Amino acid sequence: MPEIAYINSSFIPLEKAFVPINDRGYLFADGIYEVIVTRNGKTFLIQEHLERLQKSADELLLKLPHTLSEFIEIIDQGIKKAGFNETMVYIQITRGIEPRRHNYSADLKSNLTMTFRPHPEYDPQLIREGVAIITVPEIRWSRCDIKSIALLPNIMMKQKAVEMGCQEAVFVTKEGIVREGTASNIFFIKNKILYTPPADQHILGGISRNYILQQAAAHGLEQIERECTLEEILSADEVFITSSTVDLMPVIKIDETTIADGCPGPVSKIIKNFFPTVPTIMRN
């Protein structure tokens, strides 16, 4: 089954899709994105993802080329055309195409591209046994709530984690405040209470994060959103990271510290079951 792209309002084979050299996404990373996956063939939390796309666009004064319901229609068509069991939909919208200049024309037309690829195979061992992550200095800007395609610190730090044999790198400020992973949010559990950093401008308000908080509340699990220190996370009963591509991944080691007894904990297992299907391996 071919991977496909949506570009210039048409679906074409992915390897035939190219963007112009003057696309401001290519020149400046002047754009936004979303990653949406299917579960049992159906898009999961699509409305929430598209609302976040709208919010990112509004923050950057970037015009979305479609209404949210038009987006849903195009995405559904792409998923059908691609024909994978489970699909990972990548949506990117850049400010548009014009010769390089930092400021942009008021009437510039934004450029929408999408890719439809198979959702990667899931590795049950990682979920069963948990993963190791590293901490890295928070060197990003102070609008991490915008899902911008400008991700240099994230890719540098993720690469470092992978080269160290770890699944994720988590940004920590010099004051010891834990923010989030390079492509995930972080939670910890202490005395059966669920903690996660607040969805302010320092982190991306993850759709999986929100879903977990809603589900946890519905299941009567006490939860607190507040600044979390590295010190308290290292002494937590359980730690996990979340994203649309992994759902929930238990963390059993952070840098040199083993979390609790080094095994995924019972509350993480309960929360994991809030998700409709078995999740996938985190993409390296």
Nearer to ligand PDD, 166 or 207 (CB): 207
Shortest distance (Å) from residue 123 CB to ligand PDD: 17
Q: Which of 42, 55, 80, 147 is catalytic?
A: 147
Largest CA distance in the chain: 58
Judged by CB under 6 A, does residue 208 bind ligand PDD?
yes
d(CA 204, CA 184): 8
Our CB check for ligand PDD shows the closer of 95 and 179 to be: 179
Pick the piece of the chain touching ligand PDD (CB under 6 A) from 101-109, 115-123, 202-210, 264-272.
Answer: 202-210
Q: Give the HSE-up count for residue 277: Cα atoms under 13 Å, Cβ half-sphere.
A: 17
Q: Which is nearer to ligand PDD, 111 or 244 (CB)?
A: 244
According to CB under 6 A, which residues from 22 to 51 bind ligand PDD?
A: 35
Query: Which strand (E) or helix (H) includes residue 239?
Result: strand 238-243
Binding residues for ligand PDD restricted to 97-126, rule: CB under 6 A: none
- Among the listed residues 206, 250, 264, 279, the single contact to ligand PDD using CB under 6 A: 206
d(CA 146, CA 127): 29
Say whether residue 209 binds ligand PDD (CB under 6 A).
yes
Q: Give one DSSP letter per residue of 148-208, joined into a string.
A: BS--HHHHHHHHHHHHTT-SEEEEE-TTSEEEEESS-EEEEEETTEEEE--SSTTS---HH
Q: Shortest distance, CB of residue 24 to ligand PDD, whole angstroms?
A: 20
Name the nearest CA neighbour of 246 among 39, 40, 49, 72: 39
Sign of CA pseudo-dihedral 127, 147, 26, 110: positive
Residues 141-180 that bind ligand PDD (CB under 6 A): 180
CB of 146 or CB of 260, closer to ligand PDD = 146
Identify the burial level of 152 via C-beta atoms within 10 angstroms of its C-beta, where 0-12 means exposed, 13-18 middle and 19 or more buried: exposed
Catalytic site includes residue 147: yes
Q: Secondary structure of the chain: what % helix, strand, coil (to 5)? A: 30, 30, 40
For residue 35, which of 45, 20, 24 has the smallest C-alpha distance?
Answer: 45
Least Å from the CB of residue 77 to ligand PDD:
22
Q: What is the DSSP string of 79-108?
A: HHHH--SSEEEEEEEES-B-SS-SS--TTP
Binding mask 221-250 for ligand PDD (x = CB under 6 A): ---------------------xxxx-----
> CB-wise, 209 or 272, nearer to ligand PDD?
209
Of 76-84, 200-208, 213-221, 225-233, the window that binds ligand PDD (rule: CB under 6 A) is 200-208
Q: Which is closer to ligand PDD, CB of 97 or CB of 280?
A: 280
Backbone Cα Rg of the chain: 19
Does position 202 interact with ligand PDD (CB under 6 A)? The reply is: no
Active-site residue list: 147
Residues that bind ligand PDD (CB under 6 A): 35, 180, 183-185, 204, 206-209, 242-245
